[in-house]
Amino acid sequence: MLTADAGVAATAVSSFSGYPPESALDFDLSTSWYIANNQCVPGPVSPLECCASQTLSLQLPTARPVSAIVIRGNRGTFADDYDFLTGRLDLLDGNGAVLTSMPIVFSRPDSDWAAVFSPVVANVRTVRFVPGWSENEGGLAELQVFSP
């Protein structure tokens, strides 16, 4: 699993105090990264909100092939009513060019999602999660990246 490798760094446009982006890399389903309060644009269907301006990115220390991604929804604090419902996953090269992009629709009730890439996506340097619709300011427990 690439996210277990030394040097992988998590960054986010915003985070709720005490719930940093690094929580998405700690292999602990009871911790989560959450978008900071009032950062999402209210959507037309209350209490859903559109959060595309908020991103969570994992920077890999070197370009690597990616064979699978697993995103795990919140299990600990705020496990209910703060889940992502949709989003987008982008895999970028070292220059920031998008190698592949795909929509995400999270499963319910745990808001998990997984994808296997066949063939693998080569030369990935950044994995970027772009939230779509969420319940309030959403969060996630883990973003796991796998290499062959």
Three-state DSSP at 96 gives: coil
- d(CA 83, CA 73) in angstroms, rounded, equals 7
pTM: 0.93
Total number of domains constituting the chain: 1
- pLDDT band, residue 49 (cuts 50/70/90): low
Residue 83 sits in a domain whose CATH number is 2.60.120.260
Phi/psi region, residue 66 (left: phi>0; alpha: psi -120 to 50; beta: rest), is: beta
- pLDDT band, residue 62 (cuts 50/70/90): very high
pLDDT value, residue 130: 94
Q: What is the mean predicted confidence (pLDDT) over 136-147? A: 93
Please name the residues in contact with 22: beta carbons below 8 A apart, sequence gap of 6 or more.
10, 33
Contact 66, 118 (CB under 8 A): no
* pLDDT tens by residue, 78-115: 888 889 999 999 999 999 999 999 999 999 889 999 99
Closest CA to 139 of 70, 65, 68, 85: 85
pLDDT value, residue 87: 93
Q: What are phi and psi of 90, to 5 degrees?
A: -120, 135
Closest CA to 113 of 123, 103, 121: 103
Range of the structural domain that residue 68 is part of? 2-146
- d(CA 98, CA 42) in angstroms, rounded, equals 28
Question: What is the percentage of the chain residues whose pLDDT exceeds 90?
Answer: 72
- For residue 144, what are the CA distances in angstroms to 22, 43, 69, 127? 12, 29, 6, 10
Would the pLDDT of 119 be above 90? yes
Task: For the chain, give the mean pLDDT.
Answer: 91
